[in-house]
């Protein structure tokens, strides 16, 4: 008998006797969130914006013409579940991988099996890669030829924005669908279904839940179905220990849930989106929104120095000379944060952020330096006029350095008109806001209509 080749493929690898993974029953010891995972497309709840009757994704699934796609969005919003439902709806073999634990060798093996499976029986393979952003550029490149020739249909899932986290070739060859946090209505449907399902859910406990209890669990889960179902399972099983207790109350639900965790992953999308909302709220002079986004970052464990740096930037860019004290206070808050730390640092952070939010606004300083930098980048820089050049070295007077310079303090009001550039270019345009209005008036008084 010839020896089995190292890379040979057994028929059992291609056509397992058991049902496909998308159709397998979930063992009873699995968490409720796993047991209640929908098996068919018509059981899927939520994401109507991408899965509605007339949506591109729905039409592609029903026509069995789905190309490679990338699902991105927060955890617990149905990315993995929908991928399994698609495999079931299109009668495809479902091959799940996780980018954290997989490597190029495993990728090549799975793709090789998919090609043989298609040639032997015409069976398509959906290659589902969870956390696909964890793959390196070279690992993503391995997928490209087989995505293009249709050897596999890729469904990638990630919590990060694929336009930042994935390679350009992979993004350009995939349809991108954003998953949003589930609505409270969707979460309530999921929770009710779990309570009533005696086979996979919690129906065997025969416990009724007060509407307020389910609303609380839906609210605290923040659009995450997995979190909502885990909380419900703890609540029901805790209640079931007490004989005769047939109603799950709001108090029961509250006692079964730990401290609320919020969606805030430092270094990923939510981090940048939240700091963006914080800065825009300060710029927009909304103190309440400013405090809200600040609280979210503090609650999520953000570095207070990172927050303080953004307050400093906003104070200079968006307040500027309309209220020069804004930058002073922001810098003070940064210094205080460094030596007192959290949780006390939340107070100076709030004070500085509120000052910036409520201060009069002007971006004239920001616009001024941007114009000047653009001028510097445009072409040859102007030479320094002779009367402005340094004279603090022996022999400077022999080459007439500084000759003709007028010392402003020798003149009334400490001002005298003279040229400070070879060619006058205006960069700074003070605005009629706060203290900058006074600056504008002073410059007009000094220079007349030239300003």
φ and ψ of 430, to 5 deg: -55, 145
From first to last of its 451 residues, the chain has per-residue pLDDT tens of 444 444 455 555 555 544 444 444 445 568 888 889 988 888 999 999 999 888 999 999 988 888 899 999 888 899 999 999 999 999 999 999 999 888 888 888 998 898 888 888 888 999 999 999 988 888 888 888 888 888 889 999 998 888 888 999 999 889 999 999 999 999 999 999 999 888 888 888 888 889 999 999 998 888 899 989 988 988 888 877 655 558 888 888 887 776 555 555 655 567 788 899 999 999 999 999 999 999 999 888 888 999 999 999 999 999 999 999 999 999 999 999 888 888 899 999 999 999 999 999 999 999 999 999 998 888 778 888 888 888 887 877 777 788 889 989 988 989 989 988 888 888 999 999 999 999 988 888 888 876 6
Does CATH number 3.40.50.300 belong to domain 11-178? yes
Return d(Cα 354, Cα 415) in angstroms, integer. Answer: 37
Q: Give the chain's radius of gyration (CA, Å).
A: 32
Return d(Cα 420, Cα 220) in angstroms, integer. Answer: 62
Return d(Cα 146, Cα 115) in angstroms, integer. Answer: 9
Buried b / exposed e over 235-248, threshold 16 CB at 10 Å, is bbeebbeeeeeeeb
Name the token pair of 11. 């028929």
382-450: which CATH number, 3.30.9, 1.10.3710, 3.40.50, 3.30.450?
1.10.3710
Per the CB < 8 A criterion, the answer to whether 238 and 232 are in contact is no
Name the token pair of 400. 């007439």
Helix (H) or strand (E) holding 217: helix 211-220
Specify the fold of 184-255. Answer: Helicase, Ruva Protein; domain 3 (1.10.8)
Return d(Cα 10, Cα 13) in angstroms, integer. Answer: 5
Is 264 in a helix, a strand, or coil? Answer: coil
Ordered by start, the domain boundaries in the chain are 11-178, 184-255, 269-358, 382-450
**CATH classification code of 269-358:** 1.20.272.10
């Amino acid at each position: 008998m010839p020896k089995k080749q190292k890379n040979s493929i057994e028929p059992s690898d291609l056509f397992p006797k058991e049902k496909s993974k998308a159709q397998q029953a979930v063992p009873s010891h699995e968490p409720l969130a796993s047991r209640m995972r929908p098996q068919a497309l018509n059981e899927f709840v939520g994401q109507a914006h991408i899965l509605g009757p007339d949506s591109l994704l729905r039409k592609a699934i029903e026509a069995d013409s789905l190309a490679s796609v990338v699902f991105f969005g927060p955890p617990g919003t149905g990315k993995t579940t929908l991928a399994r439902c698609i495999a079931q709806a299109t009668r495809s073999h479902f091959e799940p991988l996780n980018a954290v634990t997989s490597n190029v060798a495993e990728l090549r093996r799975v793709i090789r099996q998919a090609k043989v499976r298609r040639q032997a029986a015409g069976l398509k393979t959906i290659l589902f890669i969870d956390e696909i952003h964890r793959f390196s550029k070279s690992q993503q490149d391995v997928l490209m030829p087989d995505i293009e020739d249709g050897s596999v249909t890729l469904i990638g899932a990630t919590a990060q924005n694929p336009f930042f986290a994935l390679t350009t070739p992979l993004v350009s060859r995939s349809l991108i669908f954003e998953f949003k946090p589930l609505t409270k209505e969707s979460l309530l449907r999921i929770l009710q279904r779990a309570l009533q399902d005696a086979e996979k859910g919690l129906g065997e406990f025969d416990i009724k839940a007060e509407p307020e209890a389910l609303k609380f669990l839906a609210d605290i889960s923040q659009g995450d179905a997995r979190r909502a179902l885990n909380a419900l399972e703890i609540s029901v099983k805790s209640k079931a220990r007490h004989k005769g207790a047939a109603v799950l109350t709001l108090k029961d639900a509250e006692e079964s849930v730990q401290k609320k965790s919020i969606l805030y992953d430092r270094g990923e999308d939510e981090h940048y989106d939240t700091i963006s909302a914080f800065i825009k709220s300060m710029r927009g002079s909304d103190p309440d929104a400013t405090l809200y986004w600040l609280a979210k970052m503090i609650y999520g464990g953000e570095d207070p120095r990172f927050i303080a740096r953004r307050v400093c930037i906003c104070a200079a860019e968006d307040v500027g000379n309309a209220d020069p004290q804004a930058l002073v206070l922001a810098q003070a808050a940064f210094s205080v944060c460094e030596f007192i730390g959290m949780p006390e640092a939340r107070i100076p952070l709030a004070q500085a952020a509120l000052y910036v939010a409520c201060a009069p606004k002007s971006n004239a300083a920001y616009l001024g330096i941007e114009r000047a930098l653009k001028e510097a980048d445009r072409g040859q820089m102007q030479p320094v006029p002779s009367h402005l050049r340094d004279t603090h070295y022996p022999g400077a007077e022999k080459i007439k350095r500084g000759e003709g310079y007028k010392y402003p303090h020798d003149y009334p009001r400490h001002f005298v008109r003279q040229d400070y550039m070879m060619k006058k270019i205006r960069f700074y345009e003070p605005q009629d806001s706060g203290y900058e209005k006074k600056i504008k008036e002073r410059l007009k008084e000094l220079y007349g209509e030239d300003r």
